[in-house]
Amino acid sequence: MSLAPAARSLLIGLAGGVVAAVLGMPLAWMLGSLIAAMLVSLGGIEVSVSKPLRSLSRGVVGMLLGASVTQETLSRVSDWPLSLLLLVLGITLICVLATAYYRYVAGFDRLTALSASLPGALNSIPMVAIELGANPRQVVLPQLFRVALVILLVPPLFSLWQGLDVTSTTGSSRGSGWWGEYLWILLAGLPAWYFARKLRFPIPDFLGPMLVSAGLSMAGYSLVLPVWLFALTFVLMGTSIGARFHKMPVSQLLGTGGHALAGTLVALAASVVIGLCIHWLVEVPLPVAMLAVVPGGVAEMAILATALGVDPVFVTAHQLFRSILINATAPFILKVLGVKRSN
């Protein structure tokens, strides 16, 4: 990726973030950059964020999340087995309901319907499904809509529901002034990513830095980002998601996109049911339970939880568990369906 397109993409994201901040939108830097990149991409102008920058932003999010780990949050780990079991049931419910919609309402074939409904990684699930013979557009659009809609809808809905002001992405636990605190911790991100990759950790550029930052936080060194770096991280995340709509025909958005929207809403409704069950049975706050089960991306939901002040450790642990479970089992399930389809 050359310098000119990279700079253009960043400027588009920044412009969207500035406009959103002026308008007082929740999580303005992320949502503004996402919307701006999406609109420009749909207009045919290429917007992209390079893989190194995406990895860098995930690493920063991981370190930001690790900084929120305390003795109090770790003392609640004993409550997680029940909530993780409920999460597995929730994933199953989401897949059954969304697959049924895509299969019998939208008319997708069985392999494509299941592939579109799996709340897994946006990069891995479509790749595996398409290789096995699923319809590319009918798989990619629902997966893309799922992540984009969660990020667009959750902050404003949370703001209305809780009555909190989330128009700012700064705060004492997230960003402070122009210099931040303990910024030297960021230097540990690269070796942490390297060793996490060598140990074959899932999402090593996210999980490695998170674990190092968590350890340092427990030792009394809690990273606080400067406001400009925190905002830039949001811009990179939002721009990279919006860029995925590049050159997508309007007819496709209105056709397959309509079914993708409906299927995503079905998945979100199922998530609400499971979130309520976790809230009632595990006795965690309802906002925490909801963010833990909403099928967004791991890094995206982690940064939302941090920005919204909602127990990011609990949320990320459950989001990471969902991602690992789906990405570990989906290839085998889809392969069985692919073989049956070919026969």
Would you give per-residue pLDDT tens digits along the chain (343 residues)? 555 677 888 899 899 989 988 887 766 787 788 889 888 888 878 887 888 888 888 888 778 777 777 776 666 666 688 999 999 999 999 999 999 999 999 899 888 899 889 886 665 677 677 777 888 778 878 887 787 788 777 777 776 766 555 544 433 344 556 777 777 888 888 899 999 888 877 678 877 888 888 888 888 887 877 888 888 888 888 888 778 777 777 777 777 778 888 988 898 899 999 999 999 998 888 888 888 898 877 767 777 777 677 777 888 888 888 877 887 677 777 777 665 555 5
Helix 312-342 × helix 286-293 angle, to 10°: 30
Write the CB contacts of 2 (distance below 8 Å, at least 6 apart in sequence).
Answer: none
Domain boundaries, the chain: 62-342
How far, CA to CA in Å, does 36 sit from each of 106, 131, 165, 239, 249? 29, 31, 23, 8, 17
Where do we find the tokens 């339970």?
A: 289
Instruction: Please tell me the distance from the alpha carbon of residue 289 to that of residue 275, in angstroms, as a whole number.
Output: 5
